[in-house]
C-alpha cells in the first residue's frame, strides 16, 4: 500500500467521522496525518511495520493503531462499518428531523434500513414505534415532519451568505433563480427556495442528499446538514409569477394575489398595474411606489476596515490599493484601540506612526485617498479609549462597544450617549452588537441613541460582516425616520472582506435607504463630522 492510498483512506475516515458528528479535533487530526503521509519521502507502510511511524509529525498512538490495522489487514474495520451504515442521505434526513447522526444510525440499524429513502418508507409503514427509545409522541413528531406539516424549515436560520452560496449553486445547476428569504437578503434565512424550468436534475445535485417531496411542480430536498430546500418548477410563460410567489414574504404576496401569469416579474407587476418592487422591500404589503434605493455603484468609499496594525491581514497600502481597484475614491483605515483586549490595539504613539505610513501610501495611490481613521472602543464609563488630541488628528472616528455588552439598558444607553457627545466621533459602529443566531442585541435604547446622534451629527453604521449586518433593515428604517445618515461599511479584515459591501448595501435597502441617506455615497471632502 503506497503513501497516497494510505492517505486517501485516512481522509475517507475523517469525512465519515465528520458525518458521524465526531469530535472536530479527532477529524482534524486524521486530515493532518493524511497530509503528512501524502508528503512523506519514505514509504509509510514500512515505517508502520518497523514501529517508527510516530516519528512523523502529527501521528500519535491512536492514529498509529489505525495505520497498523490498515497496513496489516488492508482495511480499517470501523471505516468499513461507517461506510456501510452512514449514508449522507440518512444523516441529512436525520439532521432535518433533529436527530444526531449517531442516533440516526442506531435507528436505521434497528429498522434494518440504510438510506434516507428507506428510513422514510419505514416511518410511513408505522415501524418507528418498534425502535427502542422512540415513544408514540416522538413517532408522531417525526411523521409530521416527514409529511412537511408545517412547512419544512431548517432547525435554525442559515446565515445569508451561506444561504446565497447554497441556493446560488443549486439555481445555477438547474438554470433557475434564487428565491425565498435569500433573494430578499434577509440576514437569517429559513425559507430556502429556487425557481427553475424543470425539476429533472434536482434529486441528483451534489448539494441534495435526499428528497422528501416530489410532485410535478415542486420538490423538497434536504442537504447533508439537514437543511430543507424547495425547488419550484415553472415554464417560461409563468416563470415571473412563480418567482414572485416563491420570493415572498408570504404576507406581501398574499396581498397581491391572485397573480397573473407572466414570464418575468416586471410583467407581473405591470399586469397588476403596480411599479416593480425590489425584493428587499417585500417584507410586508405597502401602498405607493418604492423609493429609488441605494446601489453598490453609488458607494464612493469604505469607511471601516482593519489592517495588520490590529487584527487585519493586509497592510495599509494593500487595503488602499484593493479599495482603489474596486473603483472607490477613498478608504478609511480604522484599526482597534487597546481596550478591545483580544487583539492588539493602537496606542497614541501607534496612531501617529500609522499616520506616517498612510501619508506614504497616499503618495503612491493618489488621487485615491486613504483616510486616517480609528475604531475606538467606548469604555464602560462612556469615555473613549484614546485622548481627544489624538482623535482630533484623525479624518474618521468609529466609536464601538466591544467589551461589557451585557450591561443593563440604562447604563448601556448612557455609555453610548456619552461617546456620541465626544465632538470627534463620526460614526457609531454595529450599534446593536448582535451576532446573528448567536448573540442578541445589546440592551440599549436606540431611540435615545438616534436622538443624540442627530444632535451631534454622528452617523450610524450598517456593518457588512455576514454575522453582524448591524444595523439591520428594520433599524435602518427607524434611524432614517429619525433623520440620521447611515454609513455602509464592510468592517473588512482582509482584501477579500472589502467585497462584503454588497451585504451592507442590501441591508440598507431593506431599510428603504436611498443614496442620499448613505453618507459614503459622497466624495471624501463632504463626509462632514
Q: Which residues are at the interface with Zn ion (CB under 5 A)? A: 375, 400, 491
- What residues does 435 pair with on adjacent strands? 439
Q: With respect to Zn ion, which residue has the nearer C-beta, 259 or 435?
A: 435
- Residues 458 and 425: beta-carbon distance below 8 Å: yes
Q: With respect to Zn ion, which residue has the nearer C-beta, 181 or 491?
A: 491
Least CB distance to Zn ion at residue 186 (A): 23
Least CB distance to Zn ion at residue 430 (A): 6
Least CB distance to Zn ion at residue 515 (A): 24
Distance from C-alpha of 451 to C-alpha of 435, rounded to nearest angstrom: 24
CA 134, chain centre distance (Å): 35
Q: With respect to Zn ion, which residue has the nearer C-beta, 99 or 471?
A: 471
Distance from C-alpha of 239 to C-alpha of 215, rounded to nearest angstrom: 17
Peptide bond into 150 cis (omega under 30): yes
Q: With respect to Zn ion, which residue has the nearer C-beta, 123 or 332?
A: 332
Strands (E), 197-336: 210-214, 218-222, 228-233, 301-305, 330-333
Q: With respect to Zn ion, which residue has the nearer C-beta, 227 or 453?
A: 453
- Residues 235 and 197: beta-carbon distance below 8 Å: yes
Alpha carbons within 13 angstroms on the beta-carbon side of residue 225 total 12
Least CB distance to Zn ion at residue 506 (A): 19
Q: With respect to Zn ion, which residue has the nearer C-beta, 48 or 501?
A: 501
Least CB distance to Zn ion at residue 285 (A): 36
Least CB distance to Zn ion at residue 362 (A): 21
Least CB distance to Zn ion at residue 333 (A): 11
Q: With respect to Zn ion, which residue has the nearer C-beta, 280 or 491?
A: 491
Q: With respect to Zn ion, which residue has the nearer C-beta, 193 or 436?
A: 436
What is the DSSP code (8-state) at residue 254? H
- Residues 289 and 465: beta-carbon distance below 8 Å: no
- End-to-end alpha carbon distance in the chain: 69
Q: Which three cell numbers stand for residue 498?
A: 472589502
- Residues 194 and 174: beta-carbon distance below 8 Å: yes
Least CB distance to Zn ion at residue 431 (A): 11
Q: With respect to Zn ion, which residue has the nearer C-beta, 308 or 514?
A: 308
Least CB distance to Zn ion at residue 365 (A): 22
Please give, one letter per residue, the 3-state secondary structure of 462-522: EECCCCCCECCHHHHHHHHHCCCCEEEECCECCCHHHHHHHHHHHHHHHCCCCHHHEHHHC
Alpha carbons within 13 angstroms on the beta-carbon side of residue 466 total 16
Q: With respect to Zn ion, which residue has the nearer C-beta, 395 or 491?
A: 491
Least CB distance to Zn ion at residue 525 (A): 24
Contacts of 412 (CB under 8 A, 6+ apart): 401, 405, 442, 443, 444
Amino acid at each position: 500500500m503506497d503513501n497516497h492510498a494510505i492517505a486517501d483512506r485516512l481522509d475517507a475516515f475523517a469525512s465519515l467521522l465528520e458525518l458521524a458528528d465526531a469530535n472536530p479535533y479527532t477529524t482534524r487530526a486524521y486530515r493532518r496525518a493524511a497530509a503528512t503521509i501524502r508528503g512523506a519521502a519514505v514509504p509509510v507502510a514500512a515505517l508502520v511495520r518497523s514501529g517508527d511511524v510516530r516519528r512523523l509529525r502529527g501521528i500519535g498512538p491512536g492514529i498509529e493503531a489505525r495505520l497498523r490495522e490498515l497496513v496489516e489487514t488492508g482495511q480499517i474495520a470501523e471505516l468499513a462499518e461507517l461506510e456501510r451504515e452512514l449514508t449522507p442521505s440518512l444523516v441529512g434526513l436525520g439532521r432535518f428531523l433533529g436527530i444526531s447522526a449517531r442516533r440516526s444510525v442506531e435507528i436505521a440499524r434497528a429498522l434494518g434500513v440504510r438510506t434516507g429513502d428507506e428510513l422514510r418508507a419505514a416511518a410511513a409503514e408505522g415501524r418507528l414505534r418498534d425502535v427502542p427509545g422512540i415513544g408514540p409522541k416522538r413517532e408522531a413528531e417525526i411523521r409530521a415532519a416527514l409529511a412537511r406539516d408545517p412547512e419544512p424549515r431548517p432547525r435554525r436560520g442559515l446565515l445569508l451568505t451561506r444561504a446565497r452560496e447554497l441556493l446560488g449553486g443549486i439555481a445555477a445547476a438547474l438554470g433557475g433563480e434564487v428565491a425565498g428569504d435569500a433573494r430578499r437578503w434577509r440576514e437569517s434565512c429559513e425559507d430556502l427556495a429556487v425557481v427553475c424550468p424543470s425539476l429533472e436534475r434536482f434529486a441528483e445535485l451534489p448539494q441534495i442528499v435526499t428528497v422528501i417531496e416530489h410532485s410535478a411542480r415542486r420538490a423538497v430536498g434536504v442537504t447533508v446538514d439537514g437543511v430543507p430546500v424547495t425547488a419550484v418548477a415553472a415554464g417560461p410563460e409563468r416563470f415571473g409569477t412563480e418567482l414572485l410567489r416563491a420570493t415572498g414574504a408570504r404576507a406581501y404576496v398574499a396581498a397581491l394575489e391572485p397573480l397573473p401569469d407572466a414570464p418575468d416579474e416586471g410583467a407581473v407587476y405591470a399586469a397588476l398595474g403596480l411599479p416593480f418592487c425590489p425584493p428587499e422591500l417585500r417584507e410586508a404589503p405597502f401602498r405607493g411606489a418604492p423609493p429609488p434605493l441605494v446601489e453598490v455603484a453609488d458607494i464612493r468609499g469604505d469607511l471601516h476596515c482593519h489592517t495588520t496594525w490590529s487584527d487585519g491581514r493586509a497592510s495599509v497600502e494593500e487595503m488602499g490599493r484593493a479599495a482603489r481597484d474596486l473603483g472607490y475614491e477613498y478608504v478609511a483605515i480604522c484599526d482597534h484601540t487597546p481596550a478591545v483586549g483580544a487583539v492588539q490595539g493602537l496606542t497614541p504613539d501607534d496612531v501617529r506612526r500609522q499616520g506616517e505610513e498612510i501619508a506614504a501610501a497616499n503618495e503612491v495611490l493618489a488621487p485615491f485617498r486613504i483616510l486616517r481613521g480609528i475604531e475606538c472602543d467606548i469604555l464602560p464609563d462612556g469615555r473613549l479609549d484614546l485622548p481627544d488630541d489624538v482623535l482630533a488628528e484623525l479624518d474618521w472616528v468609529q466609536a464601538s462597544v466591544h467589551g461589557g455588552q451585557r450591561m443593563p439598558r440604562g447604563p448601556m444607553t448612557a455609555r453610548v450617549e456619552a461617546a456620541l457627545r465626544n465632538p470627534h466621533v463620526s460614526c457609531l459602529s454595529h450599534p446593536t452588537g448582535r451576532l446573528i443566531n448567536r448573540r442578541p442585541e445589546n440592551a440599549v435604547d436606540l431611540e435615545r441613541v438616534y436622538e443624540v446622534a442627530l444632535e451631534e451629527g454622528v452617523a450610524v453604521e450598517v456593518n457588512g460582516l455576514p454575522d453582524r449586518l448591524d444595523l439591520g433593515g428594520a433599524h435602518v428604517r427607524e434611524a432614517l425616520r429619525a433623520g440620521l445618515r447611515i454609513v455602509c461599511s464592510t468592517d473588512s479584515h482582509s482584501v477579500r472582506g472589502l467585497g462584503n459591501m454588497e451585504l451592507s448595501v442590501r441591508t440598507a435597502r431593506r431599510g428603504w435607504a436611498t443614496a442620499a441617506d448613505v453618507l459614503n455615497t459622497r466624495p471624501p471632502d463632504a463626509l462632514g463630522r
